[in-house]
């Protein structure tokens, strides 16, 4: 599958919109697309660092006018929906249906196709988004991503301050390097029409890891002995509320540790889409050690 290319439209260079472009995954996707023969447009609420060859649209995914202007002249969209509710996505889906670009949606491996209600609100949003996009006839390519290695950046302040990372535990899962998901996303965005496989593509890393495993790998990369200290969910909830985080966000963040089941699923889908096996979290930690010291 690697090496294919979105066809030129009416002789002009194809144009790709990346949502969530300032985030951990989005930045990697933009960096890769810049090296390909496409025009890149980014959408996020924050100012995007100006980069040659990258156009930026600043605004909210829930604002139909912003979405409409971001979609003008676009052939393919990498769609992320980082919100905790799918209801505000209806306007966005209507804009997508009107503009009819190729859609690649970043979803979650935690979706269980056999149940009506998903384990927690974050997974439910992704299941709802897949359904909304399909119901609108958009036939998205769905990339179901496992936990991104880049989530570990949330521990950087604690690692810099000491040898213990404290937080709620979460079920073990096949943590995937966001660079692999970005490579897969670029492949899916640029597939020729007849090569397009809608998936869902289940993008996992090569090992099932706990948070303690990840913290230990970070320690090994830094030449230090780091420990993960499990904070009970109730205590984590009250600390987050005391920090002033909105209640619905806190409940969603706590529901994942409490309710999401362990996953033992490792797939070859990263390799199928990118042509090479996924990287390990150990390697991610080595490559990003400077961010933790
Ligand atoms: N992290 C994971 O483990 C994981 C696993 C499976 C799936 N996913 C999905 O993958 C996507 C990327 O994850 P990530 O970890 O890279 O996220 P991230 O680092 O938190 O980045 C989120 C991006 O979305 C933008 N954004 C947030 N709210 C927005 C809004 N209302 N309107 C416009 N842009 C908005 C943010 O930019 P601004 O704040 O500047 O707007 C940022 O660019 C998310 O949709 C997530 O649901 C993540």
200 lines ligand 1 (CB under 6 A): no
**Percentage of residues of the chain with pLDDT beyond 90:** 89
For atom 18 of ligand 1, the residue with the nearest CA is: 23
Q: Is the pLDDT reported for residue 9 higher than 80? A: no
Q: Is 222 in contact with 66 (CB distance < 8 Å)?
A: no
Confidence of residue 3 (pLDDT cuts 50, 70, 90): very low
Q: What is the pTM of this model?
A: 0.96
Q: Is the pLDDT reported for residue 262 higher than 70? A: yes
Task: State in Å: Cα 268 to ligand 1 middle.
Answer: 25
Query: What is the pLDDT averaged over residues 2-13?
Result: 66
Where are the chain's structural domains? 15-146+177-204+265-278
Task: Report H helices in 76-177.
Answer: 89-99, 121-135, 156-161
Task: State in Å: Cα 28 to ligand 1 middle.
Answer: 12
Q: Return the best residue to mutate from 18, 21, 23 for the ligand 1 pocket (most ligand atoms within 8 A of CB).
A: 23
Q: How far is CA 6 from the centre of its chain?
A: 22
263 lines ligand 1 (CB under 6 A): no
Q: What span, in angstroms and rounded, lies between the C-alpha atoms of 264 and 54?
A: 39
Confidence of residue 194 (pLDDT cuts 50, 70, 90): confident
Strands 141-145 vs 54-58: parallel, antiparallel or unpaired: unpaired
Q: Which residues of 240-277 are buried (b: 16+ CB within 10 A; e: fewer)?
A: beeeeeeeeebebbbbbbbebeebeebbebbbebbeee
Q: What span, in angstroms and rounded, lies between the C-alpha atoms of 78 and 40?
A: 11
Query: What is the pLDDT averaged over residues 219-244?
Result: 96
22 lines ligand 1 (CB under 6 A): yes
Q: What span, in angstroms and rounded, lies between the C-alpha atoms of 216 and 228?
A: 8
92 lines ligand 1 (CB under 6 A): no
Count of H helices and E strands in the chain? 11, 9
Q: What is the topology classification, in CATH, of domain 15-146+177-204+265-278?
A: Rossmann fold (3.40.50)
Q: What span, in angstroms and rounded, lies between the C-alpha atoms of 182 and 16?
A: 14
42 lines ligand 1 (CB under 6 A): no
Q: What span, in angstroms and rounded, lies between the C-alpha atoms of 144 and 267?
A: 11
Q: What is the pLDDT of residues 71-115, one digit of tens each?
A: 999 999 999 999 999 999 999 999 999 999 999 999 999 999 999
Query: Is residue 291 exposed (0-12), middle (13-18) or buried (19+ Cβ within 10 Å)?
Result: middle
In this predicted structure, what is the pLDDT of residue 8? 67
Find the length of the chain.
293
23 lines ligand 1 (CB under 6 A): yes
Confidence of residue 7 (pLDDT cuts 50, 70, 90): low
147 lines ligand 1 (CB under 6 A): yes
């Amino acid at each position: 599958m690697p090496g294919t290319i979105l066809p030129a439209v009416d002789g002009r260079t194809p144009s790709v919109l990346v949502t969530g472009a300032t985030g951990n995954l989005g930045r990697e996707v933009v960096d890769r697309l810049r090296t390909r023969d496409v025009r890149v447009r980014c959408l996020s609420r924050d100012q995007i660092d100006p980069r040659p060859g990258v156009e930026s649209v600043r605004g909210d995914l829930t604002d139909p006018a912003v979405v409409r202007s971001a979609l003008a002249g676009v052939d393919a969209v990498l769609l992320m929906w980082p919100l905790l509710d799918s209801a505000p996505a209806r306007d966005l889906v209507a804009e997508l249906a009107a503009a009819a670009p190729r859609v690649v949606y970043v979803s979650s491996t935690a979706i269980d196709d056999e149940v009506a209600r998903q384990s927690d609100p974050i997974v439910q949003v992704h299941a709802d988004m897949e359904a909304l996009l399909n119901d609108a006839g958009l036939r998205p390519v769905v990339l179901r991503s496992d936990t991104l290695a880049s989530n570990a950046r949330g521990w950087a302040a604690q690692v810099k301050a000491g040898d213990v990372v404290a937080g709620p535990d979460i079920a073990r899962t096949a943590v995937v390097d966001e660079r692999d998901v970005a490579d897969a996303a670029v492949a899916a965005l640029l597939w020729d029409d007849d090569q397009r496989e809608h998936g869902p593509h289940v993008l996992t890393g090569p090992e099932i890891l706990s948070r303690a495993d990840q913290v230990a790998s970070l320690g090994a990369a830094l030449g230090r002995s780091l420990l993960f200290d499990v904070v009970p969910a109730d205590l984590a909830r009250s600390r987050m509320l005391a920090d002033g985080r909105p209640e619905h966000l806190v409940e969603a963040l706590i529901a994942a540790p409490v309710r999401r089941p362990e996953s033992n699923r490792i797939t070859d889908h990263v390799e199928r889409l990118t042509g090479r096996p996924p990287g390990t979290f150990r390697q991610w930690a080595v490559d990003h050690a400077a961010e933790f010291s």
